[in-house]
A = this chain, B = another copy of it.
Amino acid sequence: MQVLLEKHDQEFIRKKNRMLAFNSIQHHHPISRTDIAKLSGMSAATVGRVVADLIELGLVKETDQISGGVGRKATMLDLDLESIMTVGIEVDRNLTKAALVDLSGRIIAEKQQVVDQNGKQLDVLIDLIVHMVTEMAAEQGIPLSKFVGAGVGLPGIVDPDQGMVVFSAQLGWRNISFVKMLEAKLNMPVVLDNDLKVKALGESSFHSLDGIPAESITALVSIGSGLGTALIMDQKIYRGSRNIAGEIGHSIIDPNGKLCECGKRGCLQTYITDLALLQEANQIREVRSLQELFQYMEQGEPWARSIIDRACSYIAITINNVVCAYNPNHIILTGKFIEDHPEMFEAVKLKLQEFVGEHFSGSFEMFRSKLGERSVMIGAAKLVLQQQIDYGLVHK
């Protein structure tokens, strides 16, 4: 039976099918239309149509290559790496990073600069970002017209629809129209989101290269200066009603616990963040960095071992609580605590046996980050790409 379609339904399906075809090409280029159809389950006619869309959007091109094998020869498709470029930007408390990212998610050039945001010189930061991007583009000989957009990930509560930073304790910002300010000087569309959300998007799309199916539910758990999670469902960021889903660092575990920066007591993050561990350590001895704390542990200091062991317990508890809430099938455990001390990943894994209940323990696999320190930039660039595929920010 034929179905009559509304315009918004048509749009929905077009986006979905375009993304499906683009992912097939991104993961298997060069590839023929026939093989896209095989991989994605779409019919030849639909593949033809959405590939035409992707070519029009400047994302995909036909190559000179012809498919091998028996049967009819077919023109191969590839990412149109020369046609379109994206920018990924990470703004953190002390460091601002920017990268030029191509359609395959590969970083072409990157720069970083120490900037102390507590000075609150927003103009300086905007100018710096514009400078970094234009300089890199010039160095690479890429005209600015090739950029379909820049994605920015930063810590705090972000309203992506309004392009606003609602509140960021780390940056000391409140109600900042960041997108408007940056677009005025950067001359390309800018999309903005919370750093962990774009990080999760970046990581999950790269993990999916390795065979994690697209329908998976991936929860990213990050432990560093803060504690947070982000959820990716159907390859999209789960935002909740105000884009603040995943702020599990502020879930309360002890109403009589330590005061948190948010003003409440006993938030989960008061047990695990860098600052919390250092505060504890300094009750015993002057310790200025996590690195130093780990050194004391390696030297056999029982108090250092106890602090780190307890942190691992609370990370395992965090994972249990994430699993109870979201029931994901994949968890990516990341953040400075894990990245700088990879042996902690295994330590946490051991703790899971104690803290994750029977019916959840087999329900997920846990991975480390694949993108490391570049994950926010790559994820922010991926967000630009998603918007380009969904809405066509820029038509070539």
Contact = CB atoms under 8 A, between A and B. Distances in A.
Interface stretch (A69-77, A113-121, A324-332): A324-332
Interface residues of A, number: 64
B355 A264 contact: yes
B327 A244 contact: yes
Given A217-B240, A254-B254, A328-B241, A5 B3 contact: yes
A358 B6 contact: no
A238 to B, nearest CB: 9
A252 B3 contact: no
A174 B335 CA distance: 39
8 contacts: A3-B14, A6-B46, A157-B359, A251-B251, A252-B317, A252-B355, A253-B254, A254-B254
A325 B326 contact: yes
Contacts of A16: 9
B9 A244 contact: no
The 10 nearest A-B residue pairs measured at CB:
A240-B327, A245-B327, A251-B321, A241-B329, A253-B253, A325-B325, A247-B324, A252-B317, A251-B324, A4-B46
A42 interface: yes
A242 interface: yes
A363 B242 contact: yes
A173 interface: no
A105 interface: no
A254 B321 CA distance: 12
A10 B3 contact: yes
Contact of A326 (B245, B327, B357): B245
Contacts of A43: 4, 6
Given A262-B357, A359-B244, A9 B4 contact: no
A320 interface: yes
Given A3-B5, A166-B359, 20 more contacts: A4-B46, A6-B17, A6-B46, A9-B16, A9-B17, A12-B13, A13-B13, A167-B359, A217-B241, A241-B329, A241-B363, A242-B327, A242-B329, A244-B363, A246-B327, A250-B324, A251-B320, A251-B325, A264-B355, A322-B325
